[in-house]
Amino acid sequence: MSPDRRLATIVVAFAALFLLNASVYTLSEWEQVVITQFGRPVGSPVNTAGLHFKVPFIQMVRRLDKRILNWDGYPNQIPTKDKKYIVVDTTARWRIINPLLFIQTVQTESGARLRLDGILDAVTRDTISNHNLVEAVRNSNAILERVRKKSEAQKTQELQPGSEEEEVTGEVEGIAVGREALSGIIIEKARAGLKEFGIEIIDVQLRRIAYEASVEAKVYERMISERQRIAQKIRSVGLGEQAKIQGKTNKDLQGIESEAYRKVQSIKGEADAKAIRIYAQAMNADPSFYEFVRTLEAYRKAIPAGSTLILSTDNKFLELMRKR
Amino acid sequence: MPQSSDDPAEEIINMLRTLSAKLKTDFSGQGLMVVVAAVFGAGLLFSSVYTVEPSEQAVILRFGRYVSTEAPGLHFKLPLAIDQAIKVKTKVILQEEFGFRSSGEVGSRTDYSNKSFKEESLTLTGDLNVANVEWIVQYQISDPKKYLFNAREVLKNLRDVSQSVLRRVVGDRIVNEVLTTGRVEIAEEAHRLTQEVLDRYDIGIRIVTVKLQDVNPPESVRPAFNEVNAAKQEQEQAINQAEQGYNKVIPEASGNAEKSIRDAQGYATAAVNRASGDAARFRFMLEAYRAAPAVTRTRLYLESMEELYGRFKTLTIVDKGVQGLLPVFSSPQTPSPAAEGSR
């Protein structure tokens, strides 16, 4: 081979490679493409992964993602239906389902994001401001059920120490829609609008709902006063409980003491009665002798030693003295 | 494709021309071919071998199309860009933190300021109070294929969903449950619901666990919550004091009552016994008396008087015939004639 021919071979080989490169493209599992010819979409979009061919140079490949994509909303200050100012931070997942339509209407992902911003922000704002705050916070009325049971239990029983804090403070009103259903409403409303851009909205999550700064301070104030009220209640329940126990102490004490007194008296009385009967039975055999003997005994017992006695000689004891 | 493809092509041709001219003078044509082939071969070999670590799995794509998922070990693939091996750590348990960052990570995560930690953790409860909830989610990539092919930012999805779900769960509870008894329940429910949502996305993530970390009232409200705790202590103290008083008084009173009853029982026994004794004595005396009533009566009287009069310190005897009390004769100390007489 002459040098010129070799050179020619190399040039042809490179040209062939170049041509091949321009007419072949690979597609990843997470991609889908629209083939455009002078900017005009040709044929149906390709979304099977692998090696594909196209007409070199005049056909262009517009790659689009096939996967689930994220959309992040700016935290929005929205007044709810019950005039509470809250910050709502939404996030959504979406997917390009109609690449052709997508290319024609929004062209690029950043174009799509602009549309998403517009539609989702507006829909979220509408939905939130058409409902009360609780609808966006709570998902079910299970909490009401629990609160109802608790308050019933509190009604039937007396106030138990330790249970005061369980009591529900703040506002617990029933909900008709709920957080998840609100997301559903937002999705439903956004879906129709986004369909014409070849976008499918998979879900919208209310990632964060918070009080707006000025409202937050007021909420905190309310929380503080609530806690103080609860603390006060706990204390007074404690004092009440203390008084109850003190009362019970007095009651039990009186009971014990009077019961003992009653028993003592009846035991003694019973014994006295028995003694009376025994004496009476014995003495009745000869009452006058009893009187005589008992009188003498009484003298002995009743008159202490060292007393002074003035006697008349009339005395029976001195009878003999007198006669002498 | 680039429109300016003519210029670079010409340049390459020129370069090759000068290169071949140069090489021709230095090497024989065959020698050059061998070197080029060797280098090319080494490159091919190098790009067709790959290792998968024990904690990983590799997803193989051929021209972008999924071929297989490979286990850990040494593997071969088609060289160059034909086959592509994407390694995914499927065995590792990964962790995401919400409302806080472990100290080791704080510096490296510049996209989250302290403020946004707080924003992450401040959560509205069902009674429209606010609680500061920090939590972690541990997860694993359960299906590398789905993980790679079904969502672009899997981690972000996980974070968004976890936040949304946790708020939903907390939103169905009152602030006290959130701060105290409800923690485990909340974590379990968040775990279940997060997994449900992620399964709907079908992105190959398995939640291993959701754990609540610090759950506190917001900073400025905290003293009020502490006050409640203090009040609880006070309540307990008041009750304990009262109980203590009760325990001090009642057992003693019971003991005293018991004692007085026993005393009464003693009294009863004594009274009855005394009566019985007296009665027995009387009966015996009566029996003996009846044998000689007059004598016995006199004897008993005299004996009693004898004993009785001996006790008196002063005994004054007044004659019946004497008017008034004087004249008297008394017998202090010295035995009076009467006393002497009676003895």
Helix (H) / strand (E) containing A210: strand A199-211
Does the pLDDT of residue B194 top 50, yes or no? yes
A56–chain B Cβ distance below 8 A for any pair: yes
CB contact under 8 A, B246 and A248: yes
Q: What is the 3-state secondary structure (H, E, C) of B179-215?
A: HCCCHHHHHHHHHHHHHHHHHHHCCCEEEEEEEEEEE
Give the β-pairing of A40-46 and B65-70.
unpaired
Distance CA B135, CA B183 (A): 10
Q: Does residue A295 surpass a pLDDT of 60? A: yes
- A177 at interface of B, judged by CB pairs closer than 8 A: no
pLDDT of residue B26: 55
Banded model confidence at residue B339, pLDDT cuts 50, 70, 90: very low
In chain B, % of residues over pLDDT 70: 83
d(CA A310, CA B6): 170
Cβ within 8 Å, pair A271-B156: no
Q: What was the pLDDT predicted at B276?
A: 93
Interface check for B32 against chain A (CB to CB < 8 A): the answer is no
Asked if B62's CB is within 8 angstroms of A50's CB, the reply is yes
**CA A303 to CA B307: how far, in whole Å?**
11
Q: Tell me the chain A residues in contact with residue B338 when contact means C-beta distances shorter than 8 Å.
A: 311, 318, 321
Contacts of B220 in chain A (CB under 8 A): 220, 224
Which residues of A fall within a CB distance of 8 Å from B150?
67-68
* Over residues B156-176, mean pLDDT: 89
B264 touching chain A per CB within 8 A = yes
- The answer to whether the CB atoms of A165 and B176 lie below 8 A apart is yes
Residue in A7, A172, A283 closest to B126 by CB: A172
A53 and chain B: CB distance < 8 Å anywhere?
Answer: no
Mean pLDDT for all residues in chain A: 84
Q: What band does B267 get if pLDDT is binned at 50, 70 and 90?
A: very high
The predicted pLDDT at position B259 comes to: 94
Å between A324 CA and nearest CA of chain B = 12
Q: B320 and A313: CB-CB below 8 Å?
A: yes
Instruction: Give the pLDDT confidence of A163-173 residue by residue, as tens digits.
Output: 555 555 555 67
Interface test with A, best of B111, B161, B232 (most A CBs within 10 A): B232
Are the beta carbons of B275 and A279 separated by less than 8 Å?
yes
- Single-letter residue type at A113: R
- How many beta-carbon pairs under 8 angstroms link A with B? 374
pLDDT at A127 over 80: yes
Contact A170 B201 (CB under 8 A): no
Q: Which of B7-21, B135-149, B303-317 has the lowest mean pLDDT?
A: B7-21
- Asked whether the beta carbons of residue A234 and residue B234 sit closer than 8 angstroms, the reply is yes
Cβ neighbours of B119 in A, within 8 Å:
208, 210
DSSP letter assigned to residue A316: G
Give the pLDDT confidence score for residue B137 in this predicted structure.
92
Contact with chain A for residue B40, Cβ under 8 A = no
Which residue blocks in chain A are alpha helix, DSSP H?
3-23, 99-105, 109-129, 133-137, 142-156, 179-195, 213-283, 287-302, 319-323
CB-based contact B312 A306, cutoff 8 Å: yes
pLDDT for residue B151: 87
Comparison of pLDDT for B333 and A197, the residue scoring more: A197
* Banded pLDDT at B1 (limits 50, 70, 90): very low
Of B238 and B49, the structure prediction assigns the larger pLDDT to B238
Contacts of A192 (CB under 8 A, 6+ apart): none
What integer is the mean pLDDT of A79-107? 87
In chain A, what is the straight-line distance between the N-terminal and C-terminal CA atoms, in Å? 199
Work out the pLDDT band at B336, boundaries 50, 70, 90: very low
Length of chain A counted residue by residue: 324
Yes or no, beta carbons of B228 and A209 under 8 Å apart = no
Q: For B307, which residue in chain A has the nearest alpha carbon?
A: A300
pLDDT at A262 over 90: yes
What pLDDT, in 10s, does the model give residues B118-133?
778 888 888 888 888 9
Q: Is A170 on the interface with B (CB under 8 A)?
A: yes
pLDDT band at B274 (very low <50, low <70, confident <90, very high): very high
Cβ separation A207–B124 shorter than 8 A = no
| Mean pLDDT value of segment A218-247 | 89
Distance (Å, whole) CA B13 – CA A18: 14
Q: Do you know the residue count of chain B?
A: 343
Min Cα–Cα distance to chain B from A115, Å = 20
DSSP 8-state class, residue B151: B
Interface of B with A in 56-75 (CB under 8 A): 61-66
Task: Evaluate whether A22 touches A57 at the Cβ level (below 8 Å).
Answer: yes
Q: Which pLDDT score is estimated for B335?
A: 46
**How large is the average pLDDT for residues A297-310?**
81
Residue B108: the pLDDT is 47
At residue B116, the pLDDT reads 58
Neighbours of A17 (CB within 10 A): 10
Alpha helices in A54-212 (DSSP H): 99-105, 109-129, 133-137, 142-156, 179-195
Burial class (CB in 10 A: 0-12, 13-18, 19+), B104: exposed
**Is the CB of residue A305 less than 8 Å away from at least one CB of chain B?**
yes
B171 touches chain A (CB under 8 A): yes
pLDDT band at A1 (very low <50, low <70, confident <90, very high): low
Token code pair at residue B103: 């100290």
Average of pLDDT values for B198-218?
Answer: 89
| Closest B-chain CA to A244 | B242
Average pLDDT, chain B: 81
Contact (CB<8Å) B228/A231 = yes
Chain B hits for A245, Cβ within 8 Å: 239, 242-243, 245-246
Q: Is A37 on the interface with B (CB under 8 A)?
A: no
Nearest chain A Cα to B3, which residue?
Answer: A57
Q: What is the pLDDT of residue B3?
A: 41
- B161–chain A Cβ distance below 8 A for any pair: yes
B114, pLDDT greater than 60: no
Least confident span in A52-61, A272-281, B160-169: A52-61
Residue B126 has a pLDDT of 83
pLDDT value at position B111?
Answer: 47
Pairwise pLDDT comparison (B328 vs A90), residue with the higher score: A90
* Positive/negative CA dihedral, A105, A106, A107, A109: negative
Q: pLDDT-derived band of residue B107, with 50, 70 and 90 as boundaries?
A: very low
| CB pair distance less than 8 Å for B126 and A56 | no
Question: Do the Cβ atoms of B202 and B161 come closer than 8 Å?
Answer: no
Distance CA A8, CA A12 (A): 6
Residue B109 above 70 pLDDT? Answer: no
Q: Do B320 and A231 touch (CB under 8 A)?
A: no
Q: Between the CA of residue A98 and those of A44, A46, A63, A67, A245, what are the distances in Å?
A: 10, 11, 13, 13, 77
Question: Which pLDDT tens digit goes with each residue over B15-62?
Answer: 777 776 665 555 556 777 888 888 888 888 878 888 888 888 888 888
More confident residue, B245 or B34: B245
